[in-house]
Chains A and B, each alone.
Chain A
Amino acid sequence: MLSMRELSRVYRTDTIETSALSSISLDIADGEFVAIMGPSGCGKSTLLNIIGMLDSPSSGSYVFNGQEVAGLSEGKLADVRKHNIGFIFQSFNLVDELSVRENIELALLYHDVASTERRRRVDEVMDKVGIAHRAKHRPSQLSGGQQQRVAVARALVGSPKLILADEPTGNLDTHHGEEVMRMLQQLNREGSTIVMVTHSPSHADYAGRVINMLDGQILIEQRRAA
């Protein structure tokens, strides 16, 4: 699915140069469930952003689905991203002014999908995450768990090859956190590739591979039996 070689990300200001990622090499195969762990500031979110093409590496190579994406323009990156990647955020990042249905549909608006097809796919994915009965509600009318289910539905509706989850349980209580993790596990079993950043070792246990990072480098990789 993706392959990174000697990938670095450096942030520069007038006076300071900060290295967020340093010579990372990483391969993720189709159907994997990878958890990235590490202390705050170790570079795990930067890595996730680069995987998700929301950020570009300062140097190194990033091949996604056989295509080098490290030097692509923002427009091309947006094209690759929208056809291949779904995002789940810690703070849900739903649009307050839109209903549950509209929030999910948002992900298809930029895919040139006809409205009837959009409706069918939104209905399907809402059923899948169990949020159909809240279709007309606004995010502010939902619990945290429900909001994250909407976010998961939005990530899924475009049928992405890769789902990136940045601390998806960070804002949820234990019960709702477990619920979301079981949902991700189920998606992985159905064939989705998932890369998740988490602070929780117990949630990392859902993944097939755990990558531990420190100071912008991969410290250790552990593979678990499925």
Chain B
Amino acid sequence: MRLSFTIALRALTRNRAHTLINILGLALGLTACLLILLYLRYERSYDSWLPDSDRIYQVQATWHEPGQPITHAQTSPFPVRDTLAGGFPQIESLSVMRNGQTVTTRDGEAIFIDSAIVDPAFFDIFRLPFVHGSAAGALSDTNAIALTEKEAIRHFGTSDVMGRTMSLGAGPGKRDYRIGGVLRDLPKNSSLRFGILFRYDPAEAAGLPASAIGWGNMSQQHYLKLRPGADAHAINAALPAWEKRVVAPQMIGGRAASQADIMDLALVPITGVHLGVAQHGALTPGGDPRALATFVVVALLTLAMAVMNFVNLSTARATQRAREVALRKVLGASRPRIVVQLIGESLMLAALATLLALAAVELLTPWLGGRIGADLEVTYPGIGGLLLPAILLFVASGLLGGLYPALYLSRFRPAQVLRANKSAAETPGNGRLRTILVVVQFAIAIGLIVCTCVIYSQTRHVATVDPGYRRDGLIQIESAWRFAGDSSEYEAARRELLAIPGVVAAGRTNLGLAATNKNILAVRTSGAAQDSAIGYYAVDAEYLRTIDVPLLAGRQLGDRYARDRVVRAEADGAVLQQGAGGFNVVLNRNAVTLLGLGAPQAAIGKTIKVGLDGEDMADATIVGVVEDTRIRTARDALEPIIYGYDPDRTSLVLVRYGGADPAAVMAGINRVWRRFEPEIPFQGHFVEALVAEIYAADRARGALFAAFAAIAVLIACLGLFGLAAFTAERRTKEIGIRKVLGARIRDIVRLLTWQFSKPVVLANLVAWPAAWWAMRDWLNDFDVRVALTPGPFVLAGALALAIAVGTVAGHAIRVARLNPILALRYE
């Protein structure tokens, strides 16, 4: 055993370049695998830390309205809280959770705090640990609140704040609350997010309009805990029938319609929320299972490439080792013993690579965690530790890399090897296998380069594609509730905004640019059998001009026309029609097409019916048609939109500026804001930055792909470098002969580089269709996308070829410069 170990160690140290290439390649592959494993486990660990996580469910809703894309939401209708538990006795507890932000003042500055309104049952469902207080008393009445430890320390400098009061809210809603409990901070792998919990007050619903308490109000999550042994599948199977029973049909504009027809409820395990298909209304950014699966595959491919290097270099070295193996056989070693020894060498190498990879993982984990905003932690023992997978990967890579070379080397016949002038190891099949493996390696590398190029160009494309409005020189101010309606405050603030040097326009809306929320209306045209669902934007007269949307036909909405304005009655939500003709609206091109109104000009003057707030439908006359705008991501289809002059519902202000320092404009807006709205923190964003933010995940994915592509190319080149070294050595005699026969250095370099370029060229034939298929699939997710031109494919192929040639050229030049006499004399 000791002798075998010594032999193995010497065999590895004898050819340091070979050993180093193998160890570095394997270490790179293993590092990629282990880091992706950490990331995968982290993504799958969301909410599994919750006690009874196997019994906790979120009620999710899927909406399939005509004319609208299907929406999978983590939110569910308002009445679920009071109806669902009654229909299913398997439910042990149920709580609503309405998320939002509350404000408070600290050191004279207004600040936001993530908040949620929940039922006391919330703590029955989520048995969250308390630092101070307990679940029983935390939300004992509607004046009590529970804080997270972080918020307590942020506001009071200590977590020991039981019984102290905190002034929260703004305007008339501002009041003092008593702190009834301090919760431990939620870990990052949680789909919940809050800093403060308020107690839900059912009495508040009594004063709300019908639309706010109906099945169309999707502004809240619902969580529930099932009784032990209860079957969620059975409940999900029974939910459609339950919906039909419970959701009462509404008369919308004289037609009976039920939300149950366009909505499906389902219980989704809390542990499946983060990676689930429903991400609309998520409290924390959801994971992408497809991207995750892709990265797992890519990491495994990277490791496979390293293992291929091992096989390639080991079989290439067979020429050198054949004599040693033959001698050992002559001295009595059996084939199994030689196989064991050679696999032992491979395992020793894999062990070194694994140690190196674990060290790299330790070093890179904080960096990776920071990049993806995850609490990644390296632990070793147990099911969730890295030790077991590291051992498995070590054994797998060691065995996979060592088995074929061991079986191959150990089959040599001693007599043949020892008698032959040249080694019997160089059989044609051996070289063919190496070529195949090099082709596979470079196919992976080229495929990854193509994917990186396409992802990069698509990310650039969506960031620069014409959105139908002008992104540059535009600032969006959020939480501008104070400026809704016809307040004189807004008029005064607007005058001050326009007085800021560079500011040229300001307008209001209820849905911001790059928004994720929607406001959908039922729209009816004469003769249509079914109502259409169209997005509604409540804007003021300046909004479309401010964001600079081209007018295609008709006119903009404005104060000169009395019927332009949407005027509402009191809290019942019904729309007061202006005389008998209703109100005027502007449609975008897509809405005109969807409603079948013909060309933009033809739509002007036509009247449609819209269910603006409640059951009644109001007449809306089209006075203008504007160009389509891409308000959301490039993944979303262009929306059909109705713009209503409806300043009462606005909550954002858009400011257009030009010819001024953007930072100075932002600072000026901030000053105006603080003068008019001291209680709400200023939230101004450059629209270009907001749009860039929604593609941050795509850019991160692109960067990760680029990193993998770089690793793959590096591993492939390490292998090629090793193979080129061996080949150059093996072909020394041939090169000598060719030089004697008149070959110049460039002829020899061309000969050797072409030998290694052929598999790389061949690899393109494998990589291109696979990459094309994968990228077409990925691009199909986008409504606007780059064309899959030959560019990235040719570029990737050329790049791989250039890298391969560069890797091989060094060896080729060195060998080509050798004096042929030396090569021929010692042959």
- Cα A189 to Cα B747 with chains together (Å): 35
Question: Is A42's beta carbon under 8 Å from chain B?
Answer: no
**Contact among B734, B743, B821, B827 with A54 in the assembled complex (CB-CB below 8 Å):** B821
Chain B residues within 8 Å of A, Cβ to Cβ: 422, 733-734, 736-745, 747, 819-821, 824, 827
Residues of A within 8 A of B744 (CB): 75, 78, 110
**B827 nearest CB neighbor, chain A only:** A91
Question: In the complex, what's the smallest C-beta–C-beta distance from B480 to chain A, in angstroms?
Answer: 78
- Cα A78 to Cα B824 with chains together (Å): 16
Given the interface pairs A49-B821, A54-B820, A93-B824, the reply to whether A110 lies near B741 with Cβ below 8 Å is yes
Residues of B within 8 A of A134 (CB): none
- Cα A52 to Cα B824 with chains together (Å): 14
Residues of B within 8 A of A54 (CB): 740, 819-821
Question: Is A111's beta carbon under 8 Å from chain B?
Answer: yes
Q: A79-B742, A82-B742, A154-B741 provided; 14 other pairs, C-beta below 8 A?
A: A54-B821, A78-B743, A83-B742, A87-B741, A93-B733, A93-B824, A96-B422, A97-B734, A107-B741, A109-B741, A109-B743, A110-B742, A158-B741, A158-B742
Residues of B within 8 A of A140 (CB): 422
Q: Would you list 22 pairs from A and B whose C-beta atoms are within 8 A, ordered by A residue? A: A49-B821, A54-B740, A54-B821, A82-B741, A83-B742, A89-B824, A91-B824, A91-B827, A93-B824, A95-B733, A95-B737, A106-B738, A106-B741, A107-B741, A107-B742, A109-B743, A110-B741, A110-B747, A111-B742, A140-B422, A154-B741, A158-B741
- Cα A74 to Cα B827 with chains together (Å): 22
Chain A residues within 8 Å of B, Cβ to Cβ: 49, 52, 54-55, 74-75, 78-79, 81-83, 87, 89, 91, 93-97, 106-107, 109-111, 140, 154, 158
- Cα A96 to Cα B431 with chains together (Å): 14
- Cα A166 to Cα B740 with chains together (Å): 13
**A75 nearest CB neighbor, chain B only:** B744
Given the interface pairs A49-B821, A54-B819, A78-B744, the reply to whether A93 lies near B737 with Cβ below 8 Å is yes
- Cα A91 to Cα B737 with chains together (Å): 12
B734 close to A95 (CB less than 8 A): yes
Residues of A within 8 A of B827 (CB): 91, 93
Query: From DSSP, what is the main secondary structure of chain B's interface residues?
Result: helix
B742 close to A55 (CB less than 8 A): no
Residues of A within 8 A of B824 (CB): 89, 91, 93
Given the interface pairs A49-B821, A55-B821, A75-B744, the reply to whether A93 lies near B736 with Cβ below 8 Å is yes
Determine which residue in B733, B819, B824 has the highest number of CB atoms from chain A within 10 A of its CB, and name it. Answer: B824
Residues of A within 8 A of B742 (CB): 78-79, 81-83, 107, 110-111, 158
**A151 nearest CB neighbor, chain B only:** B737
B741 close to A55 (CB less than 8 A): no
Question: In the complex, what's the smallest C-beta–C-beta distance from A195 to chain B, in angstroms?
Answer: 15
- Cα A125 to Cα B659 with chains together (Å): 84
Question: In the complex, what's the smallest C-beta–C-beta distance from A148 to chain B, in angstroms?
Answer: 14
**B737 nearest CB neighbor, chain A only:** A93
Residues of B within 8 A of A158 (CB): 741-742
Question: In the complex, what's the smallest C-beta–C-beta distance from A87 to chain B, in angstroms?
Answer: 5
B740 close to A87 (CB less than 8 A): yes
A106 close to B747 (CB less than 8 A): no
- Cα A107 to Cα B742 with chains together (Å): 8
Residues of A within 8 A of B745 (CB): 74-75
Residues of B within 8 A of A78 (CB): 739, 742-744
- Cα A77 to Cα B339 with chains together (Å): 50
**B823 nearest CB neighbor, chain A only:** A93
Residues of B within 8 A of A74 (CB): 745
Name the 3 nearest CB pairs between A and B, nearest first: A82-B742, A110-B742, A95-B734
Residues of B within 8 A of A82 (CB): 741-742
- Cα A35 to Cα B734 with chains together (Å): 27
**B747 nearest CB neighbor, chain A only:** A110
Question: In the complex, what's the smallest C-beta–C-beta distance from A86 to chain B, in angstroms?
Answer: 9
Determine which residue in B742, B819, B821 has the highest number of CB atoms from chain A within 10 A of its CB, and name it. Answer: B742
- Cα A95 to Cα B741 with chains together (Å): 12
Question: In the complex, what's the smallest C-beta–C-beta distance from B739 to chain A, in angstroms?
Answer: 7
Residues of B within 8 A of A55 (CB): 819, 821
- Cα A55 to Cα B736 with chains together (Å): 13
Residues of B within 8 A of A91 (CB): 824, 827
Residues of B within 8 A of A89 (CB): 824
**A52 nearest CB neighbor, chain B only:** B740
Question: In the complex, what's the smallest C-beta–C-beta distance from A106 to chain B, in angstroms?
Answer: 6
**A82 nearest CB neighbor, chain B only:** B742
**B743 nearest CB neighbor, chain A only:** A110
Residues of B within 8 A of A96 (CB): 422
**B734 nearest CB neighbor, chain A only:** A95
- Cα A140 to Cα B821 with chains together (Å): 22
Question: In the complex, what's the smallest C-beta–C-beta distance from A46 to chain B, in angstroms?
Answer: 9
Residues of A within 8 A of B740 (CB): 52, 54, 81, 87, 93
- Cα A79 to Cα B819 with chains together (Å): 16
- Cα A83 to Cα B736 with chains together (Å): 17
Question: In the complex, what's the smallest C-beta–C-beta distance from A56 to chain B, in angstroms?
Answer: 10
Residues of B within 8 A of A87 (CB): 740-741
Question: In the complex, what's the smallest C-beta–C-beta distance from A68 to chain B, in angstroms?
Answer: 20
- Cα A81 to Cα B827 with chains together (Å): 22
